[in-house]
Amino acid sequence: MQKRSIPYGRQTITGEDEKAIIEALHHPYLTQGPKIKEFETAFAEYVGAEYAVAVSNGTAALHLCALALNVKEGSGIITTPITFAASANCIKYCGGKISFADIDPETALIDIHSVRKILESSPAGTYQGIIPVDFAGYPVNLEELKELADEYGLWIIEDACHAPGGYFTDSKGEKQSCGNGKFADLAIFSFHPVKHIACGEGGMITTNDKSLYDKLMMLRTHGITKDAELLVENHGGWYYEMQMLGYNYRIPDILCALGLSQLQRADKGIGRRREIAKKYDIAFKKSGVMHLQHPSDGGHAYHLYIILVKNRKNLYNALRAEGIYAQIHYIPVHTMPYYRSIENGISIKMPNAEQYYEKCISLPMYPALTDEEQEFVIEQVIKNS
């Protein structure tokens, strides 16, 4: 018998996806074709935002957001240490200064009290923005965060890579979808294969702000525009202008065709993820295994399912021996040698993030995980923790 292999996350590719790709492959425009706009329009509608800009990956999306919001030398930005390094790196690309706020131990999301403490203890004008992360698919309460941001005149970039289809419930009892642009100025998503929607590589920015949208569209392709409304001069049909220093962060049409096809199944996928989470919840409650994040509504998007165990290395190795490839999300970004080597602010301890890191482990969570595989994972976790 072949040894089993169960990863922590994995994409699903269907016959529909294959058809969509082949169709796009025969289109005359392999990169700047019609699927880009179609994907943007469908994605904006999916998250409830007015505008969407598709880009080459989630990191490029973050970089463009930082540029669009004028992050530059000396700009102070606050983010969480429990995230993928890209959430912080985008600020460093622009020469800005990153500060980390500690996490709430119940959720592993950025702790609003910790953000407030940083703001209160810094001279006015030190900070320009906050990058909260909907970590593991658990949406940050952006209504609360925006109140604080407004007090200090800060913008918000929501890193929603883990949470397309997620929502939090606001103070009026309304569901607020991740990336809907109601509280955050900009939101970003990734279409890396372990995320909900797989393009191979791909990313998206959503916003309700037309001027940021126009700027992002230019920055995505060298800072160039052909939009007649935006041109300073107009010499004729061939005319374009480079109005700012941008990049080539375009995503090919073929990948947008795949993304669009995957988006049709997104709700089904998230439904399956929530089913898997519920089964883990019930099994672990019975056996006393602690899991992270206990949302009070159904808005968790479950990119990850995380448990907290004392002897984490032991469990990690035992699972691997059984072909279960659990992962650790994340090694706190502020402890990375690069971040340790720069800026004195980063030598500050983040006790909650560091304690969380000692215990966390992400179990297999993806729509194609079978009941039988999940039962095997549960059995092995209980046996080894």
Ligand X SMILES: *Cc1c(COP(=O)(O)O)cnc(C)c1O
Residues that bind ligand X (CB under 6 A): 57-59, 83-84, 86-87, 133, 159, 161-162, 190, 192, 203
216/283 with CB nearer ligand X:
216
Please identify, using beta-carbon distances, which residue of 29 and 338 lies nearer to ligand X.
338
CB of 66 to ligand X, least distance (A): 13
Q: How far is the CB of 147 from ligand X (least distance, A)?
A: 23
At its nearest, how many Å lie between ligand X and the CB of residue 335?
17
**At its nearest, how many Å lie between ligand X and the CB of residue 171?**
26
Cβ atoms within 10 Å of 231's Cβ, excluding its own: 14
Whether 283 contacts 290, CB under 8 Å: no
Backbone angles phi and psi of 141, in degrees to 5: -75, 95
Q: In the structure encoding, which two tokens stand for residue 258, read together?
A: 């795949």
> What spatial distance separates the first Cα and last Cα of the chain, rounded to whole Å?
27
* CA angle (47, 51, 55) in 5-degree steps: 90
Contact call for residues 154 and 146 (beta carbons, < 8 A):
no
Of the pair 157, 381, the CB lying nearest ligand X is at 157
Residue closer to ligand X, measured from CB, 195 or 385 = 195
What six digits make up the tokens of 197? Answer: 């929607």
Helix axes 266-287, 371-384, angle to 10 degrees: 30
Which CB sits closer to ligand X, 60 or 119?
60
Residue 175's contacts (CB-CB under 8 Å, 6 or more residues apart) are 167, 168, 169, 297, 299
* Residue nearest ligand X (C-beta atom): 58
Rounded to whole angstroms, what are the CA distances from 111 to 6, 105, 142, 255, 355? 33, 9, 12, 36, 15
Of 180 and 190, which CB lies nearer to ligand X in the complex structure? 190
Residue 266 C-beta: closest distance to ligand X, Å: 17
Of 202 and 283, the one with the shorter C-beta distance to ligand X is 202
Strand order in the sheet with 305-308: 290-291, 305-308, 360-363
Q: Taking the alpha carbons of 284, 285, 286, 289 in that order, is the dihedral positive or negative? A: positive
Residue 269, token pair as written in the block: 């996928």
For residues 242 and 5, is the Cβ–Cβ distance under 8 A?
Answer: no
Q: How far is the CB of 55 from ligand X (least distance, A)?
A: 9
CB of 112 to ligand X, least distance (A): 18
Angle subtended at Cα 71 by Cα 151 and Cα 199, rounded to the nearest 5 degrees: 105
Beta-strand pair 175-177/97-100: unpaired
CB nearer to ligand X: pick between 114 and 190: 190
Q: Shortest approach of ligand X to residue 379 CB, angstroms? A: 29
Nearer to ligand X, 161 or 205 (CB): 161
